[in-house]
Structure 1
Amino acid sequence: MTLTAPAATTTALEARNLVKDFKGFRATNDVTLGIQEGEIHAIIGPNGAGKTTLFNLLSGFLRPTSGEVHLFGERIDTLQPFQIVRRGLSRSFQISSVFPSMTVRENVLVALQSPSSLPMQFWTPLSRLEDLGPRADQILADVGLEGAQGRLAADLSHGEKRQLEIGISLTQDPKVLLLDEPTSGMGSEGIARVIELVRQVAKGRTVVLVEHNMSVVAELTDRITVLQYGSVLASGKYDEVRHDPRVIEAYLGEEAHG
């Protein structure tokens, strides 16, 4: 009988012993984790656990006090955020980051300038960006906003703004996409739409998300990492981690028994 060797896995994003101090307060404490290529990975934990700090370290918006971040084997924690984006990592933010006075399509067109040969100038007439139009239209279709191209971003619902923000993140054609609280403030209909959207954008890429809604985490993710007081408390498949007594005590509580 011939045994088939398990398929090799590639680590897409890796944190190695990350520490971040703020004037005597340690926000992340020796965080080590590896996120595999092609998986959807959630980072969860109670308020103040260090999730946002970790996201900022992974995406280059903060420099670690010590430790390293690697993207497909390349060290990136010494790079600027725009350099990290060009290497294949993009992120959304918990707070809306769209241009409210521009249309949905214009928001995507402006974002598409960055990886193109056009100069990165906010004064560039939008008429010069029309060569990027087909790509913008495809992105809007991918995130379910093909019917909202001409609407002002300010007029979008909360859920639609989230869709647009994910679309803007996709303009960089990332290999790894970080999503910060993608369902925050949404009702059940909006949450269902975002779950389906994350599934779509995860095809062919790695997705890492910070998320409080445990139903979303259970439905979407391949693996989760639980933070507490800036440290990794547990990491693994959702069904394994949710029964860990330390996790139940620290975060999930009665919800973990549901």
Structure 2
Amino acid sequence: MTALPALQAVGLSKEFRGFSATKDVNLDIRQGEIHAVIGPNGAGKTTLFNLLSGFLRPSRGEVRLFGERIDTLAPHQIVRRGLSRSFQISSVFSSLSVRENLLAALQSPTPLPGQFWSSRRKLAPLSGRVDEIVAQVGLEPLQHRLAADLSHGEKRQLEIGISLTQNPRVLLLDEPTSGMGSEGIARVTQLVREVAAGRTVVLVEHNMSVVSTLADRITVLQYGSVLASGSYQDVSRDPRVIEAYLGEESE
């Protein structure tokens, strides 16, 4: 028997006052793969991520996580079913340290959500998991530094760490290498490869070098619709994709 897709979009459409941001998007993300979503600016990539993660409700269509329909659920309910995401714009608590950001995220499924005034004794059971995550995302030397003092790339590492606090089966990453230099891109690319072990990763990414390095399969969006889907080799040779997106990168 074929395994259920980890994540599915079925006829997914979103309209804003008559404007179609996504139109009848069908997407099957296989369990355990790294799947990239690419396309020109305005293609509907972030809207698609917002629909998949519950931050927007579709005008039509469904989203399914391991076969369960989730598009009617709130974002926190979707997280608890195993889907976490990062955002295109950094979203960390700047006045908290790296460890404190992770502790705040780890509290969410406990009886202490958001109680920043909780004593260290109450939070002690979470300390071991924080140690694991800071090591996994490469922030051990910076774990006591304020998030405001991190570089852009280090904040991206922290955001991925925050996403991992919920032990996701599916992880959505929105532009994880955006705005980085070559060193930061290499570091985050390696981190994505590592966190993908044992889970499914979907990423929106403009850097085609990163996409070709990481992605098992690619879906190309244009004007809110799926233009092509397949391996990097197949998609990169598609004349429609070259005209719509890849050609822009080589100009």
TM-score normalised by the chain length of structure 2: 0.97
Matched, 1:119 2:112: yes
Aligned partner (choices 50, 59, 70) of residue 44 of structure 2: 50
- What amino acid does structure 2 have at the position aligned with 1:134? G
Deviations 1:98-129 (A, max 9, x none): 1011110010011000123x321334425121
Matched, 1:92 2:114: no
**CA distance in structure 1 between the partners assigned to 2:41 and 2:74 by the alignment:** 27
Q: Is the 8 A contact 2:217 2:232 kept in 1?
A: yes
**CA distance in structure 2 between the partners assigned to 1:187 and 1:121 by the alignment:** 34
Task: Tell me the secondary structure at the aligned position of residue 95 of structure 2.
Answer: coil
Aligned to 1:4: none
**CA distance in structure 2 between the partners assigned to 1:32 and 1:194 by the alignment:** 29
Q: Is the 8 A contact 2:6 2:65 kept in 1?
A: yes
- What amino acid does structure 2 have at the position aligned with 1:63? R
TM-score normalised by the chain length of structure 1: 0.94
**CA distance in structure 2 between the partners assigned to 1:218 and 1:8 by the alignment:** 26
Aligned partner (choices 172, 175, 182) of residue 181 of structure 1: 175
Residue 38 to residue 94, structure 1, CA distance change in 2 (3 Å): same
Q: Is the 8 A contact 1:106 1:126 kept in 2?
A: no
**CA distance in structure 2 between the partners assigned to 1:177 and 1:216 by the alignment:** 17
Aligned partner (choices 153, 158, 170) of residue 159 of structure 1: 153
Q: Report the aligned-residue RMSD.
A: 1.4
| Runs of 5+ unmatched residues, structure 2 | none
Q: Is the 8 A contact 1:248 1:256 kept in 2?
A: no
| Runs of 5+ unmatched residues, structure 1 | 1-6
Aligned partner (choices 96, 111, 114) of residue 102 of structure 1: 96
**CA distance in structure 2 between the partners assigned to 1:81 and 1:220 by the alignment:** 27
Q: Is the 8 A contact 2:94 2:148 kept in 1?
A: yes
User: Percent identity of the aligned residues?
Assistant: 73
- What amino acid does structure 2 have at the position aligned with 1:129? L
| Runs of 4+ residues over 4 Å off in structure 1 | 254-257
Aligned to 1:195: 189
Aligned to 2:227: 233
Aligned partner (choices 58, 61, 64) of residue 70 of structure 1: 64
**CA distance in structure 2 between the partners assigned to 1:99 and 1:122 by the alignment:** 14
Aligned partner (choices 128, 134, 155) of residue 134 of structure 1: 128
**CA distance in structure 1 between the partners assigned to 2:75 and 2:207 by the alignment:** 28
Q: Is the 8 A contact 1:243 1:256 kept in 2?
A: no
Task: Tell me the secondary structure at the aligned position of residue 6 of structure 2.
Answer: strand
Deviations 1:173-228 (A, max 9, x none): 00000000000000000000001000110000000000000000000000000000
Q: Compute the displacement of 1:66 (Å).
A: 0.5
Matched, 1:25 2:19: yes
Task: Tell me the secondary structure at the aligned position of residue 98 of structure 1.
Answer: coil
Deviations 1:77-110 (A, max 9, x none): 0000000000000000011111011110010011
